[in-house]
Structure 1
Amino acid sequence: MSSAEPRKFGSGWISGSASIVLGAMGLGAVLCLLFPAQLTTPELRAIYPMGIVRGLIQAGIVTGFVLGLLSIVLRKSKALGLAGLLLATIAVLLGGWEVPVEVPVAKSNYLGLDWFLLDLLLMSVLFVPIERLFPRVSQPILRDEFSTDLVYFFIGHVLIQVFVFFTVAPATAFFAWARHPSFEAAITSQPLPVQFVEIVFVSDLFFYWTHRLFHRVPFLWRAHAVHHSPRQMDWLAGSRLHILEIVIVRAVMFLPLFVCGFSASAVQAYVAFVALHAVLLHANVRFRFGWLEQIIAMPRYHQFHHASDGESLDKNFAVHLPWLDRLFGTQYLPRDGWPKHMGVAGDPLPATYWAQLVYPFRPPRASV
């Protein structure tokens, strides 16, 4: 495909790109139907309304096929349209939305491909229109390094079983002795909203100090610098997390929840909140939330933490509760304005996923 071809509306680029996305998602969904034990998460599998799911798969594949044809008609280079058509065709040849699923599904180790597809659909449908209507910075949807962050989003979802194991295993293996049935009973007897608020506080308190360590310890900083490396913020940028950071941070945040014995419903509510809140914090939106910004972290607050500007460096470590930063003297929230420059000051990180994966383990470059 020639990079000189236009990408404006009516050029076939938008329809071709959308065709590839829908074709790939449709193919992925069909693979989930074919191999549910290996490619779907048991918790989600149990609650899927299959009639609606099959209808969405059908709509995605058919729309991807139509958009691929449109791109072929409109665009001189046929690569985008043909790629979308190929993906949609393969999905149909494999059985499409009518693939039968045997119930019950056998237990197996699994990859969370369904979780990746579902969350990608939900977050993009929710945040892409908002970012186009109310952008803080004018930038294309497929910004620089978008593909890198999409790889992070994919890995972070598909390897969910691995991450859950490393999140839960340290607590259950080394801190089961710290649990007390009477204390756990007192915790779980509280109303769900009370438990939720307590979880937000306890998890953010542990996150705050872990986050500060990641900024202080050189090796940990090199892993955390990966998360700080995006120079443009959007709904996908927050997915850029090194595997090492995911494992350490989630294990630390889960520890107090395990020891205190919060109910599964309260923990699940918190996980759902984090999934949405984390995307909002990095979104390219210009919203201001007034007094609420003093109570719960919002995009402007967290994006000052991502800024490479001098005054905001090593500030705003809390991910939920800004008053933790006020309490410990690390808050930076001017009355007006947004950060001007994002990314890591000084030596830039490599741009690709695999280069960033090995970055923490490579010796730092000697300063000149």
Structure 2
Amino acid sequence: MEKYLEIIKNSYTGYWNYIKQSVLFELNWENYFYGLILISLVVWALEIVFPWRKNQSIFRKDFWLDTFYMFFNFFLLNLIVLIALSNTASEVFNDILGLIDVSVTDLQLFNINDFPYALRLFVFFIIIDFVQWYTHTLLHKYEFLWNFHKVHHSVKQMGFAAHLRYHWMEPVVYKSMKYIPLAIMGGFTAQDVAIVHFFNITIGHLNHANINWDYGVLKYILNNPKMHIWHHVKELPEDRKNGVNFGITLSIWDYIFKTNYIPYSGRDIEIGFEGDEKFPNNFIGQELYPINRKES
């Protein structure tokens, strides 16, 4: 128990120091704080210059709520619980494996650092994106998970910041699902993670942005605003009640597994979910929704 408490303490102090270094410009390529701000400003500028829904305000409905979600989920949530939880869970998993005389390295099918640099990034990105796509389908399939995911689907006007409106439980689910694939791949560098992460954030922002783009032939590979808005459609077709267009960064998984759906231009479709008029419209209410719902 003392070992785990030490891990938790070190996680808090280490991540707090990381945030301070980020804000004070003491980090370079791994500075997620200013990286997020820069990406957000660029995509917001694209929304202003190339608007798809021209009557939608630049400061759309819930703009500031979603901006708060961006920084809370990307930084404060990690400080409050995720880093400590992730590091502790990883150590518990290693200890369990040790009881049966197995180590994480025994699970490795290959060491990704043995690959050429470009191939290493590509394999890392593809595997992680597929795991996230599959996890996303589970968030829609099972009611317990869907009640958490409703926070993201409570957006009523799409914009870049809606990308990071999600309940704190979602990253717990995603990180849990990614742990084994990451262990199987072996080691990877912090720079690899940063490059892939910044790319995913950029595409994710664009997917939710009010931008009149679909990337042409690349729409069959990359998720895009004209595809992703149908993921948020309020009224799903009868044969797709568990959702459509689950792609996170890549759209190709939806085309491969036949979950793609773009019947016509979704520019003016109503987004949300059935009963969303009763869904809380503030941060605290949305975070507590799954618990309050169960109690009621």
Change (3 A) 1:272 1:330: same
Matches within 5 A, 1:155-194: 155-156=72-73, 157-161=75-79, 162-174=81-93, 177-180=103-106, 183-185=109-111, 187-194=112-119
CA distance in 2, matches of 1:288, 1:39: 35
Partner of 1:47: 27
Residue 42 (structure 2) pairs with residue 126 (structure 1):
yes
Change (3 A) 1:289 1:48: closer
Partner of 1:150: 67
Partner of 1:306: 232
CA distance in 1, matches of 2:150, 2:65: 15
The share of aligned pairs that are identical, in percent, is 27
Confirm or deny: 8 A CA contact 2:154 2:273 kept in the other structure: yes
Confirm or deny: 8 A CA contact 2:254 2:260 kept in the other structure: yes
Shift of 1:355: 0.3
Choose which of 201, 209, 213 in structure 2 pairs with 1:283: 209
Matches within 5 A, 1:1-368: 37=17, 39-41=19-21, 46-47=26-27, 116=33, 118-119=34-35, 121-137=37-53, 138-156=55-73, 157-161=75-79, 162-174=81-93, 177-180=103-106, 183-185=109-111, 187-264=112-189, 265-311=191-237, 314-334=243-263, 336-338=265-267, 340-348=269-277, 349-363=279-293
CA distance in 1, matches of 2:179, 2:192: 13
* Counterpart secondary structure, 2:293: coil
AA aligned to 1:206 is: V
CA distance in 1, matches of 2:294, 2:263: 33
Q: How many residues get paired?
A: 265
Shift of 1:213: 1.7
AA aligned to 2:200 is: V
Shift of 1:292: 0.3
The CA deviation string for residues 278-303 of structure 1, in whole angstroms up to 9 with x for no partner, is: 11111110112111010121222222
CA distance in 2, matches of 1:213, 1:227: 14
Confirm or deny: 8 A CA contact 1:115 1:158 kept in the other structure: no
Confirm or deny: 8 A CA contact 1:171 1:255 kept in the other structure: no
| Length-normalised TM-score, structure 2 | 0.78
Question: Which runs of no fewer than 5 residues in structure 2 stay unpaired?
Answer: 1-15, 98-102
Which is greater in Rg? 1
CA distance in 1, matches of 2:164, 2:70: 5
AA aligned to 1:164 is: I
Confirm or deny: 8 A CA contact 1:170 1:251 kept in the other structure: no
Change (3 A) 1:260 1:182: closer
| Length-normalised TM-score, structure 1 | 0.64
Higher relative contact order (CA 8 A, sep 6+): 2
Question: Which runs of no fewer than 5 residues in structure 1 stay unpaired?
Answer: 1-35, 50-113
RMSD: 3.0
CA distance in 1, matches of 2:17, 2:234: 45
Confirm or deny: 8 A CA contact 1:224 1:242 kept in the other structure: yes
